[in-house]
Amino acid sequence: MARTDRLGHLAVGLRLANQSVMSPSQTMYGVQLVGHGGPEKLVWNERIPVPVPAASEVLVRVLAAGVNNTDINTRIGWYAQEVSTATNDVGDVNIESGGWGGALRFPRIQGGDLCGEVVSVGKGVNGIKLGMRVTCAINQPMPTSDNPVNFEALGSERDGAFAEFCCVPAAQLYDVSDSPLSDIDIGAMPCAFGTALNLLVRAGVNERDHVLITGASGGVGLAAVQLARQRGAEVTAVSSLTKADAVREAGADTVIGREESLPPRGFSVVVDVVGGSAFSSLLDALRPGGRLATSGAIAGPVVNTDLRTLYLKDLTVFGCTYQPPEVFAQLVNLIREGIVRPRVSQTYPLKEIAKAQSDFTSKHYPGKLVLLP
C-alpha cells in the first residue's frame, strides 16, 4: 500500500475510533513488554490498537528508534532498588518496581528514541502539521510543585517507539523536518545525545576544561565526546582499545584503555556512565574543585568511595536524569544544523529486537544500533 494510502486509511480508522468502532486499519504492529525478564518477555503483536491522540497529543508514525541501555534495564528490572549488580548480572530476581518511576503497567511498548512523522493531532494542538518530521526527549519534563525534576520516560511510564505508531504530548515534540540528518541518524539521538548534553551542561563544560569520559565507545559516550569537543574542551576518553579509532574519530584527543591507570588530579571534569568498582578512581583523577557528572552504572550501581576525597578536594557531583526543556532544545538546534551526527553501526527490522538487544549488550559495536518499524 502506498504511503499516502496508508495514512488515509489510518485517518479513517482514527475517525471510527472516536465512534468506538473497530476496523482493521485501527490496529498496528509492535513489540510489547509483558513482564520483567529476558528477551522472551518481548512479544511481537500485529493486532495492537492504534492509539488515538487525546487532547494536546499527537499521533506519530515511527520512522526509526534507537536501542538503548535503558530499554534493556527496564526489561530486566534493573532500576529496582533490590538489584545491586551490573546490568549483565541481574539474574533471577523478583522485581515489582523495575521502571524509572516504579512499577510498570504491562503490556508496555518500550522505545525511548523516536524519529517519526505526524499523522494525526488531538484537540487543542496548534503549530504541528501533518507530515512534519519530529523527535522528542526520552525523559519528558513534567515538573510539579512537590517534584521540580519530575518527568515521564517514553517507553517506561508511557508507551514508546517500538511500534508502528505512538502518541506523544504535543508540547514535547520538536520539528526536525529541515535537518540534513537521516531518519536513522535522528532516531539514534534523543537518549544518547540528550543524556550526554545534559551531563555536559550540568557540569558546566567549556573550552577551559579537560574532560574525562568513561564508556566512550557506547552511544552516550561517543555523543559526549562529540559534544564536549564541540564546546571546545580537551577530551580524554576511556574505552576498549579495539574501538579506539571510533572514539578518536568522534573527537577524543586521547584514548585510555579500560585497564589503564588514570593520572591523578588530571581532569577538571569527569563524565561517567559506567559506575562500578572504578568510581573511586574517577574522584582521584579530578583536580581540586573538579566536577563529576553521572548518568549510568552499567558496571554496578553500588560503589565504595572515600568521602574525604569529596570534601577535602571540594568536588561537586551531579546526578543527571531530568533534562530541562532548554537542554533538549539545544540538541535539536544541533540536529537541525547537522553539527553533530551519531555513529550508527547496525540497523534491524523492529521484529528482530531480540537480536538487536543481544548485539547491543555484547558491546561488539561502537555507537548506536537502530530499529526500523
C-alpha cell at 310: 569529596
Instruction: Mark whether 7 and 153 lie in a shared domain.
Output: yes
Maximum Cα interatomic distance, the chain, rounded to a whole number of Å: 67
Instruction: Mark whether 290 and 253 lie in a shared domain.
Output: yes
pLDDT category, 83, cuts 50, 70, 90?
A: confident
Q: What is the spatial distance between Cα 270 and Cα 97, in angstroms, rounded to a whole number?
A: 30
Residue 138 CB: number of other CB atoms within 10 A? 28
Whether 361 contacts 179, CB under 8 Å: no
State mean pLDDT over 69-92: 76
Show the domain range for 113.
3-189+342-372
Instruction: Mark whether 185 and 208 lie in a shared domain.
Output: no
- pLDDT at position 24 over 50: no
| Structural domain includes residue 108 | yes
| Structural domain includes residue 333 | no
Whether 83 contacts 95, CB under 8 Å: yes
Sign of CA dihedral 90, 96, 101, 107: positive
For residue 322, which of 124, 142, 105 has the smallest C-alpha distance?
A: 142
The secondary structure of 216-281, three-state, reads CCEHHHHHHHHHHHHCCCEEEEEECHHHHHHHHHHCCCEEEECCCCCCCCCEEEEEECCCHHHHHH
- pLDDT at position 287 over 70: yes
| CATH number of domain containing 253 | 3.90.180.10
What integer pLDDT is reported at residue 94 of this predicted model? 64
Instruction: Mark whether 171 and 247 lie in a shared domain.
Output: no
Instruction: Mark whether 218 and 245 lie in a shared domain.
Output: yes
Q: What is the spatial distance between Cα 365 and Cα 373, in angstroms, rounded to a whole number?
A: 21
Instruction: Mark whether 164 and 23 lie in a shared domain.
Output: yes
- Give pLDDT tens digits for 256-272: 999 999 999 999 999 99
Helix spans in the chain (H) = 3-18, 69-76, 183-187, 190-203, 219-230, 244-250, 279-284, 307-312, 325-337, 353-362
Question: What percentage of the chain exceeds 70 in pLDDT?
Answer: 87
Q: Cis ω on the peptide bond leading into residue 53 (within 30° of 0)?
A: no
State mean pLDDT over 197-212: 98
Instruction: Mark whether 40 and 63 lie in a shared domain.
Output: yes
Instruction: Mark whether 184 and 203 lie in a shared domain.
Output: no
- pLDDT at position 291 over 60: yes
- pLDDT at position 21 over 60: no
Instruction: Mark whether 134 and 38 lie in a shared domain.
Output: yes
Q: What is the spatial distance between Cα 239 and Cα 23, in angstroms, rounded to a whole number?
A: 51
Instruction: Mark whether 249 and 107 lie in a shared domain.
Output: no
pLDDT category, 14, cuts 50, 70, 90?
A: very low
What integer pLDDT is reported at residue 91 of this predicted model? 60
What integer pLDDT is reported at residue 15 of this predicted model? 38
Q: 77 or 98, which is more confident?
A: 77
What integer pLDDT is reported at residue 7 of this predicted model? 43
Instruction: Mark whether 176 and 278 lie in a shared domain.
Output: no
| Structural domain includes residue 332 | no
Instruction: Mark whether 361 and 215 lie in a shared domain.
Output: no
Query: DSSP code of 36?
Result: S
- Give pLDDT tens digits for 134-183: 999 999 999 999 999 999 999 999 999 999 999 999 999 999 999 999 99
Q: What is the spatial distance between Cα 219 and Cα 365, in angstroms, rounded to a whole number?
A: 10
pLDDT category, 20, cuts 50, 70, 90?
A: very low
| Structural domain includes residue 51 | yes
| Structural domain includes residue 324 | no
pLDDT, averaged across the chain: 90
Q: 158 or 104, which is more confident?
A: 158
What integer pLDDT is reported at residue 76 of this predicted model? 87
| Structural domain includes residue 163 | yes
| Structural domain includes residue 331 | no
| Structural domain includes residue 328 | no
Number of domains in the chain: 2
